[in-house]
Amino acid sequence: MKERNVSFGHLLAYGGGNLLGSGALAISGAWLLYFYTTFCGLTLIQASAIFSIASIIDAISNPVMGYLTDNFSNTRLGKKFGRRRFFILLGIPLMMFYPLLWVDGFGFWYYLATYVIFELIYTSVMVPYETLATEMTSDFSIRSKMTGYKAIFGKLANFLAAFIPGQFILIYGKDSAQPFFYTGLTYGVILFIAVAALYFTSWERKSEAEKQVRLKANSLATSLLTMSRDMKSTFHLRVFRKHLGMYLFGFGAEWLFASIFTYFVIFVMQFNPAMVAGLNSLNSILQLCSTALFIAFCVKHGFSKPYSLALGIVIFSVLLYTMLYFLHLPAQWVTVAMISITVIFGIGTGGVYYIPWTVYTFLADVDEVFTGRRREGIYAGAMTFSGKITRSIIVFLMGSILSYYGFQSKS
């Protein structure tokens, strides 16, 4: 059966889906802990516990979501809207839940509940989204373009995630919570448009083999047991184990940096919050350029050497940031140094984010050789499950360490 053509418009809409994947996480990673501890009266332990609890609950939902989308074609809704795309359709109006995370004046349980709910909404859209490249085409070059556009839009999302709060902070001031609510509201509208465009311009494969497959109706316990076996079976694939290590250590370092960077700039280096937004904006622009470079680099040299290079650049940059604290340079030199180091950091980070998810799109092909099944959802669920657990540990440890050494809200 002849495949449908993936046009430039399809590439743009597919890439635009990552405005949710990267942008929402970038805003939360950079500002949500700061928002909780500065404007909501939470301690850093409470704020980091919200991240960790929500991540653990969401981690459990990731493989469930992967299993569900792999088998949803057997339902009436799945046949009508698509086993993956039904959940993307469902997520369109739910994007407007995002501003509720950024309302001040409530207690711990409100912020825990809203963050958990949004994480579940995020997962219900992102797990099927991650499988669409393999659903829409089997062509290596087109898949590479799709993941490339996804990475490019991820950098655009990072820019918006830094630029939007920066502008509202300049308008309403650093001591007001309003910039964060208006940031959430603005980005919620952007997500609504992006997810809608993704749904209306995507499709799923229609193979005769899949049409003939009909799973028996199983109980929840049987389905969960089958899902657990499928999850476990992904680790039998050696290339997936190696890929998971690459993903967790690379992204784990980036998540730790994103969680602590706002505190480092404001409380350690004594800069205005607008400086954080400015540096993050610069970083996102450089990541966009870097991603384009790494796309070409990976086509010529594979994935191993470019990824090692990207990690080396990031490690070198973090060491330079650390040195700034001990060198006690004059204020004007510190500003210049922060900007210069951010330039180096952004170049490396583009590769760290781009390469693992590009490699992922080919794992299901390797798995199909051994199992005879298309299990993109299971692999996406396994990756995000592992990532969420790692992120929850990292954020909680970071909050615990800062609290142990005397960090106080609004200090």
> So what's the pLDDT on residue 323?
93
Q: Please give the pLDDT value at position 212.
A: 42
pLDDT digits (tens, 9 = 90+) for 69-78: 777 777 778 7
Predicted confidence band of residue 336 (pLDDT cuts 50, 70, 90): very high
Give the pLDDT of residue 224: 67
Determine the pLDDT at residue 331: 84
3-state SS of the chain? CCCCCCCHHHHHHHHHCHHHHHHHHHHHHHHHHHHHHHHCCCCHHHHHHHHHHHHHHHHHHHHHHHHHHHHHHHCHHHHHHCCCHHHHHHHHHHHHHHHHHHCCCCCHHHHHHHHHHHHHHHHHHHHHHHHHHHHHCCCHHHHHHHHHHHHHHHHHHHHHHHHHHHHHHHHHCCCCCHHHHHHHHHHHHHHHHHHHHHHHCCCCCCCHHHHHCCCCCCCHHHHHHHHHHHHHHHCCCHHHHHHHHHHHHHHHHHHHHHHHHHHHHHHHCCCCHHHHHHHHHHHHHHHHHHHHHHHHHHHHHCCHHHHHHHHHHHHHHHHHHHHHHHHCCCHHHHHHHHHHHHHHHHHHHHHHHHHHHHHHCCHHHHHHHHHCCCCHHHHHHHHHHHHHHHHHHHHHHHHHHHHHCCCCCCC
Domains delineated in the chain: 9-404 (1.20.1250.20)
Predicted confidence at residue 208, as pLDDT, reads 45
- pLDDT for 218 equals 53
Mean pLDDT value across residues 320-335: 90
pLDDT in tens, 340-369: 999 999 999 888 888 887 787 778 778 787
Report the predicted TM-score, pTM, of the whole model to 2 decimal places.
Answer: 0.77
410 has a pLDDT exceeding 70:
no
Return the minimum-mean-pLDDT range out of 63-67, 264-268, 312-316: 63-67
Q: Does the pLDDT of residue 196 top 70, yes or no? A: yes
Residue 213, pLDDT score: 43
Instruction: Output 345 or 232, whichever has higher pLDDT.
Output: 345
User: With bands split at pLDDT 50, 70 and 90, how would you rate the model's confidence at 216?
Assistant: very low
* Segment 154-187, tens digit of pLDDT: 878 888 888 899 899 889 988 889 999 999 999 9
